[in-house]
Chains A and B, each alone.
Chain A
């Protein structure tokens, strides 16, 4: 099987989720005696070839071009599509990041191939791959097999697969003239970075999340104070977002972000089914809630029945003390 992995970089830094995708690609190739290639697009990014090689790519298609300096669906779609055609890819893997989710359908449409979104598992049997992915935000999982003999694409959910080194010295193939300026119709004019130092819930290893029990927007500060020493992000339930207490980009659940951090601390969140769908694959879940009957305790690894306004600040102090010990 010939597998091409789209390796995402911003400002010359490779996304961890892309290394995870390379590792999945490597494992699939090893199981099917295949060949692994990476496609890297950007400007002044030749160093990324090495990183791709470190995680198992034997070939790197490098599009080093001012047109790729900033992400655009159009130019990156053409660049990735061209790499897939030159390589003769049987499968194209993307990390299901904001960029990957935007790019993958454009590439799939260009190549007229199918796309499986947000894959969280795979198995290889007699050279045939079965993929597993959540539906209904993880209320159920579906196993799907690509129709034999047809190339396809998949996006892989970040934070699910391990990034494993498998060093190769890749052959670098330059992608020339994959796109011209007139191809780029939708142009990224600017990138506005959100509040400094605040992590996005989709990328955080630790999430401190608040729901209806937060009582008002002013109280989210106490969650930020706990998230900070933990190096985590602040999340929220739909009730809190719909009440206007915090921006929707923080929302976790079926109409928000689906997350699987190593630690999810749910404060004043009752655990509605649509919220649980968005976070129940977290490795460890802590529930802090006044109501001992709250459904959130059913999925919690550890629970404290108590007033979050008492528990959370005390926890912040205890975490700070722990971190101070080193």
Chain B
């Protein structure tokens, strides 16, 4: 079975975001870059499926620059067999549509049975790429998945999160799944895994290797142009209450009811 997981190299969630001078970009200079947390669930799901099958190949794919190799190595250290990096200057600045196009072309190069994605990448917060890739490959997609049952051959039965409940969705393979927290507990790479990862192959694809027209991706192919970034306005100064706890609680409920009018 050919199992794929798509991952993104992102600033971790402790990152403090600043706006770069000029306002047209974010300054992420101090960020610590990691595998997108949701993509760890995708890699783990891929590894668990391989283990369940008792065989197969797990390939991790990413679109990014030379730095993104670190995230691919992390996934290889967790146990993935092969890695693919789509790296070309013309990919820089791609929106979700561009990234999906690049990934879909890379995926088409080899047969596959199932593709795992994180439900979204922290940072851009688009929640689009898994669905877009599935559409480009003309395969079904199940998004925001918290449980997968492989009991029936050739079929996945997934739990997906909706407001106030869970939908049970059945999809035939090949298909795409986007992973939500709760699906699994991503493993930590072992020392042996880290050593082995150094020897595993990372294939690099450039735009020409994928038959991609540079005008369709990167900033040139984006459907929206960035006008600028800004930080949210600071919240107005709050009020810490004082006195006996009983009196504070009474005052708080009064303030919420009469001043803020929210209860």
Binding site for B on A (CB under 8 A): 71, 73-74, 97-99, 101-102, 104-106, 108-110, 113-118, 130-131, 134-147, 150, 152, 185-194, 198-200, 202-203, 206, 230, 241, 247-249, 251, 253-256, 262-263, 272-274, 277, 280-281, 283-287, 292, 297-306, 310-311, 314-315, 318-319, 322
Contact = CB atoms under 8 A, between A and B. Distances in A.
B246 interface: yes
B175 interface: yes
Given A117-B126, A193-B165, A263 B256 contact: yes
Contacts of A141: 229-232
Contacts of A188: 167-169
A71 B165 CA distance: 14
Given A118-B125, A318-B252, 8 more contacts: A136-B11, A150-B223, A192-B168, A298-B235, A302-B239, A305-B240, A319-B263, A322-B253
A273 B165 CA distance: 28
Nearest to B227: A143
Given A185-B140, A255-B181, A191 B223 contact: no
A251 B181 contact: yes
Contacts of A102: 131, 143-144
Interface in B149-199: 157, 159, 161-172, 175, 180-182
B91 interface: no
Nearest 5 interchain pairs by C-beta: A114-B223, A109-B135, A105-B131, A185-B140, A186-B171
29 contacts: A73-B140, A101-B144, A105-B96, A105-B127, A106-B131, A109-B100, A115-B96, A116-B223, A118-B127, A135-B124, A139-B16, A140-B230, A140-B232, A144-B224, A186-B170, A198-B164, A248-B146, A253-B13, A255-B122, A273-B14, A273-B16, A280-B235, A281-B232, A283-B262, A285-B238, A301-B236, A302-B240, A302-B252, A302-B256
Interface of chain B, main secondary structure: mixed
A311 B245 contact: yes
A152 B262 CA distance: 36
B48 interface: no
Contact of A256 (B136, B143, B167, B181): B181
Contacts of B95: 114
A73 B238 contact: no
Interface string B1-39: 000000000010111110100000010000000000110
| Majority DSSP secondary structure for residues of A touching B | mixed
B72 interface: no
B70 interface: no
B110 interface: no
Nearest to B128: A105
A144 B168 contact: no
Nearest to B228: A143
A234 B84 CA distance: 42
B52 interface: no
B1 to A, nearest CB: 19
A95 to B, nearest CB: 11
A298 B238 CA distance: 7
Given A186-B142, A305-B240, A299 B235 contact: yes
B131 A186 contact: no
A142 B13 CA distance: 18
Nearest to A253: B13
Contact of B223 (A152, A274, A318): A152
A322 B256 CA distance: 11
A142 B163 contact: no
A297 B240 contact: yes
A241 B241 CA distance: 29
B166 A194 contact: yes
A48 B14 CA distance: 44
B127 A191 contact: no
A172 to B, nearest CB: 28
Contact of B164 (A140, A200, A311): A200
Q: Of residues A140, A247, A310, which shows the largest number of chain B Cβ atoms within 10 Å of its Cβ?
A: A140
Given A109-B136, A292-B240, A315-B252, A322 B263 contact: yes
A146 B224 contact: yes
Contacts of A110: 135
Interface in B60-101: 95-97, 100
A103 to B, nearest CB: 9
Contacts of B239: 301-303
B170 A306 contact: no
